[in-house]
Amino acid sequence: MNILITGGRVIDPANHVNEVMDVYVQDGRIASLGAAIPGFVAELTLDASGKVVSPGFIDLCATMREPGYTHKGTLRSETHAAAAGGITTLCCPPTSNPVNDSAAVTKLISDKARQAGFTRVLPIGALTKGLEGEQLANMQGLSESGCIAVSNGRNAIRNSLTLMRCLEYAATFDLLVIFQSQDPDLSAAGVMHDGANAVRFGLPGIPETAETIAVARDLLLVEQTGVRAHFGQLSTARAAQLIMDARAKGLRVTADVAVHHLLYTDAKLNGFNSLYHVNPPLRSAIDRAGLREALLGGTLSAICSDHQPHDEAAKRAPFGATEPGISGLETLLSQALLLVEQDVLTLDQLIEKLSLGPARVLGLDSGQLGLGSVADICVFDPEAEWILTEEAMRSSGKNSPLLGLPLKGRVCYTLVDGELVYQAS
């Protein structure tokens, strides 16, 4: 389909574009910016006046819950939510049931996502069988079946020798390994950041060292094996510093951060609102400042949603007994725009962290609007004000602390492969 997007402010950090112009889409790709191409006849015209036209967002961590936990979310419901959030590509961790440690599960995820037709889904395969941390998964087979990377999620591999063998295997095939580093013993009993607020609230804490010790060990093994590594959803300033030091030494290491760790601190848990119960936990103001600095300095390449949809029962219990996670796909943009409002990032920098940055982590040539690029596009109104309601959410998980609150910045159109997959009502 030929699509013409008119009058929008096109921001494409990859090609240093930031100006008002028309965008011409033909055969699923960017055919022209600004001037019309000869013979182009638009079959669909989208008015983007007063809005921003950017590359579609790429989310490095969004849990789909299917297969196995469809009472919390399905590939259809969650990819629909992603499209409503301007996300055109997402990576889903292997923490399904069954675990994604076989080509059959990978194919099921890919087929169901394709049938839903909202957002491109890139499965992440398991690093060990069943995520049990004992036997290596068939990583080569997972890669050949479509997995973009391998990971053991937050199921820590306690045995360092086993982890080293995993990394050696992955390095042999140049597979990207994604870490969600957290020491299982230091974090086992905790439900929030271990600090003054945990003492005040009487809740067991997860110390900052639960992350930094694990990141330090993992980095040493990354250095030894030479594997390509990405560290997901860092929550502490010292872990970000460790990544920066590793990069300075020449290690092939990248990292991302969840948007809620850039905005909130453990003080949000005053009142025991279980919707702010996340893992890793919301940290101190010092950690938040360190993460923001690492984001601006380039140590953190991307901002993700760390989307974790839950059913109502999972959050209806005393704080410590609830399951961690926020349903964040549909609010990723409006939350991230707060970083612009708070002068942490410029709008160009923010779009880079949501599109080009994650594309480079994954080795994709998307995340940009260059001529001939795949037409994955988000059109959003940065000034639009709206209120998130359960009824309007596409995600099956209604576990958002933002329900009923005024938000700013809303997606108007989302295009994947040059097809309109979402249009705001």
Alpha helices of 49-97 — where are they, by DSSP H?
75-84
Active site residue 306: yes
Q: How many residues does the chain have?
A: 425
């010092």: which residue's tokens? 286
Give me the phi and psi of 378, to 5 degrees please.
-120, 130
Which string of DSSP letters, residue by residue, matches 313-380? HHHSS-GGGSPP-B--TTTHHHHHHHHHHTTSS-HHHHHHHHTHHHHHHHT-S-SS--TTSB--EEEE
Enumerate the β-bridge partners of residue 136.
128
Among residues 22, 256, 306, 376, which one is catalytic? 306
Cα angle value 356/423/123 (rounded, 5°): 45
Q: Coil, strand or helix: which one is 407?
A: strand
β-strands 44-47, 3-12 pairing: parallel
Q: Say how far apart CA 130 and CA 42 lie, in whole Å.
A: 49
Give me the phi and psi of 117, to 5 degrees please.
75, 20
Angle at which helix 347-354 crosses helix 332-341, to 10 degrees, equals 150
Known catalytic residues are 306
